[in-house]
Amino acid sequence: MLSFATLVSARAMARAAPRYTAAFAVASSRHFTMSTRRLGVVKVPEMAESISEGTLREWHKKVGDYVNESDEVATIETDKIDVAVNSPESGVITELYAEAEDNVEVGKDLFKIEPGEAPKEQPKDEGKSEEPKKDEEKSEEPKKEEPKSEEPKKEEPKKEEPKKEPKKEEPKKKDAGRQESEVAPKAGARTESRVKMTRMRKRIAERLKESQNTAASLTTFNEIDLSALMSFRARNKDRLLKETGIKLGFMGAFSKACALALRDIPSANASIEGEGLGDTIVYRDYVDLGVAVSTERGLVTPVVRNVENMGILEIENAITELGLKARDSKLSLEEMTGATFTISNGGVFGSLFGTPILNLPGSAILGMHAIKEKPWVVNGKVEVRPIMVVALTYDHRLLDGREAVTFLVKLKQYLEDMPTMLL
């Protein structure tokens, strides 16, 4: 039989049990959340809607390095852009979960960081360590004085030794020369090396083949006398550079002329969409101009939005800024997609003429080339004029030859008569 006191205490414990269990659950949950924070594991960030993985291109930090908040720790290469992985907080990197050239998926663990402040003891230790070094150097100085007093006694044997040393060194030099001749490649040697393609290069190859296999590409040419444009640039470039800080080149004028010509030939600014090879034509009342930029990693095409509403200087400035970001691999995915018309300037490399490949889903691309002085008939007389060959590659499914040729004729008229284009 249980006593009355025992029953009372048992009931009290039963009533208090839920409170203790709830308190224990709260305490354990807090402990769990704190432990997960202490882990400091940084995961592969989201890169874009259509990108689920990338290649770890480079580690900028290693285990044991201290990083500040927002410091770039790694770079992940995708088929479109490079993604910088920054540290979410300050601390010391304790572990790396991937190596360079590894494929990494979004959401997977990338590296581990132990939060904390920068170590402040290191400079103090270095100062302390330098003091004993100086003391050691001072202690070594008197030791060097002792052999100096003995030098006159041992001068004669030391003079004989260097005479024998060069005789022994001569055959060694001959042997070294023989080894170098064996290692050096022979004349006419044929070597090969294989390098894995980067994600961007593979993506470029895929898009180029997709363009060739999808569109009915055709190219038409024309020649433009750039005398008016070059004189306009020569008169205004120094003044505009001082007033605005913008360098006046040729891309701004060509881009503006294209926007005006596209207003006259809207099919060159259209695209085909739909199932299979497409069943719908999309016409646009705006021009998002793609400008091909060559970088060390490949060709990219940043996009200048609403070119039809911009002036020549605004376009020049926008193209310059995007070009710098492209060469620094800092373009966002939004800045590289959605071009309705594209310009490729191979003239900066000295190209005389060529046939550019369509940048899908756009239906036309303009190819600019080098400016060369040529004999040119003006009012019945032959003069030397700066001439550029321009090429328009277009999708024959959407544009007929008449429209493509008319586009280049319009472009030629605008550029050869600069005041008309600026009105």
Q: Which residues are catalytic?
A: 396, 400
Q: Which two tokens stand for residue 163?
A: 């005479």
Which of 32, 53, 416 is CA-nearest to residue 228?
416
CA proximity to 345, closest of 293, 387, 395, 392: 293
Radius of gyration over alpha carbons of the chain, in Å? 36
Tell me how crowded residue 388 is: count the other CB atoms within 10 A of its CB: 23
Distance, in Å, from the CA atom of 43 to the CA atom of 318, rounded to the nearest integer, reads 34
Q: Rounded to an integer, what distance in angstroms lies between the CA atom of residue 77 and that of residue 80?
A: 8
Cα 122 from Cα 127, distance rounded (Å)? 9
CB 370 within 8 A of CB 352: yes
Other beta carbons less than 10 A from residue 60's beta carbon:
13
Contact assessment for residue 382 and residue 355, using Cβ atoms and an 8 Å cutoff: no
d(CA 208, CA 337): 15
Residue with tokens 């429209």: 403
Which residues are CB-contacts of 216 (< 8 A; sequence separation ≥ 6)? 395, 396, 397
Euclidean distance between CA atoms 45 and 86, whole angstroms: 10
Task: Give the pairing type, strands 72-77 and 53-59.
Answer: antiparallel
Beta carbons of 394 and 404 less than 8 angstroms apart:
yes
